[in-house]
Amino acid sequence: MSVVSIESLVVRYGSFTALDGLSCEVPEGCTGLLGPNGAGKTTLLKTMLGFVQPTSGRATVLGMDIRTKGREIRQAIGLMPEQDCHIPGMSAVQFVTYAGELAGMPSDQALRRAHEVIEYCGLGEARYRNVETFSTGMKQRIKLAQALVHGPKLLLLDEPTNGLDPAGREDMLQLVQSVSHGKGVNVLVSSHLLPDIERVCDRVILVMRGKLQAAGTIKDLKKIEGHPIDVEVKETSGAFVNALMEKGFSVQPPKGTTYRVEGPGRPEEVNKTVFKVAKDTGTQIRGLIIAERSLEEAFLEAIKE
């Protein structure tokens, strides 16, 4: 089931078209929203929240229409914005409690829950400090806490690791991963940091110039057309390469001691042929795996198209 369903969505700022007939589905689980700067990621999040009215098209969030059910949608989702944001003059626990009350929680429940999520986000005793005195990492955590306090069904995270040091980034990714797996919270992470997306998300949506460029599981996106395999050998061997090419295989120049080999037929047949050629040419195979692109390669390829 999709948590977000978007059909031909167009959003314009004056004459500038930020989303240009975007159609996509965000399935349950953790999904990454990828795209270069200015691709329309943040506009898409803002449109889902009702901050920006679409010019045309249709979108539903958790089954609710974004044009008519803005309040209900915002009650069911949590937003962790990219920028620093807090309510001035409040301690962390007051801030998160207040965020809960704004979302419709009774005061006592909001206070109890605020302590719970602050603890979960690792702010500990800093909860009694004024948010304005927090470091960047702590501000990121408190933003996550205020987004989680009312138990949202969908969490929108806009650049959650922005400005974090490596340790803080690791902690934040762990928090996101923990929330999004097995806790019933669907997460949409908007980022241009591909390693972060790869780390926490199962699926990605790639947006480019306001249009959908690619969507699917990360595994599918990393797949290379034609099922090439990476063959790691003990030592590079010209005879091995020549023998494969004679059998109609294409072999890319080695990276270290690994050849990327692509041959006709099904993967099992290709593997069988590779092993046979290795045996015939006296080449020792150390490893053989189905070749994959990195997410970065997939991303660059998609935005080139």
Partner 1 sequence: MSNPIADLSYRNYDGPLTSPQARWWSIARQSISQGIKKKFFVTLSLLSASFYFVLLIVFYFVEVLNPAQAPGDKNPLLSMIKWNEQFLNAFSTSQLWLLLLALLIGSGSIANDNRANALLVYLSKPCTKLDYLIGKWVGIFIPLAVVTAIPTFLFYFYCLMSYREYGFLSQDPWLIVRLVFMIILPAAFHASVAMGISSLFNQGRIAGAVYAAIYFMTLFFTKFMQVAWIFSFRKGGSESSGSQFVANLYYMSVDGLQIGLAKHVLGTRGGLMFPGQGMSGQMRPRTGKGLGGANAPPQMNPAELIPTYGSLWLLTAVYLGCCGLALFVAWRRVRAVEVIGG
Q: How far is the CB of 296 from partner 1 (least distance, A)?
A: 30
C-alpha dihedral (18, 23, 29, 30), degrees to nearest 10: -30
Residue 70 in tokens: 């803005």
CB 259 within 8 A of CB 241: yes
Does residue 89 interact with partner 1 by CB under 8 A? Answer: yes
Which of 13, 128, 133, 290 lies at the binding interface for partner 1 (CB under 8 A)?
A: 13
Q: Determine if 91 is a binding residue for partner 1 (CB under 8 A).
A: no
d(CA 61, CA 88): 30
| Footprint on residues 96-155 left by partner 1 (CB under 8 A) | 98-99, 101-106, 109, 113, 116-117, 119-120, 132, 146-151
Asked if 301 touches partner 1 (CB under 8 A), the answer is no
Instruction: Give the range of 72-80, 238-246, 254-262, 278-286 binding partner 1 by CB under 8 A.
Output: 72-80
Looking at residues 26 to 55 of the shown chain, list those that interact with partner 1 (rule: CB under 8 A).
Answer: 46, 49, 51-52
CA-nearest of 277, 276, 252 to 262 is 252
**How many chain residues bind partner 1 (CB under 8 A)?**
50
Nearer to partner 1, 177 or 281 (CB): 177
The answer to whether 16 contacts partner 1 (rule: CB under 8 A) is: yes
Phi, psi of 210 (to 5 degrees): 80, 5
Written as one string, the DSSP assignment of 25-76 is: EEESSEEEEE--TTSSHHHHHHHHHTSS--SEEEEEETTEETTT-HHHHHHH
Rounded CA-CA distance 208/214 in Å is 9
Q: Could you list the residues that contact partner 1 (CB under 8 A)? A: 12-16, 46, 49, 51-52, 70-72, 74-75, 78-79, 81, 83-89, 98-99, 101-106, 109, 113, 116-117, 119-120, 132, 146-151, 178-179, 183-185
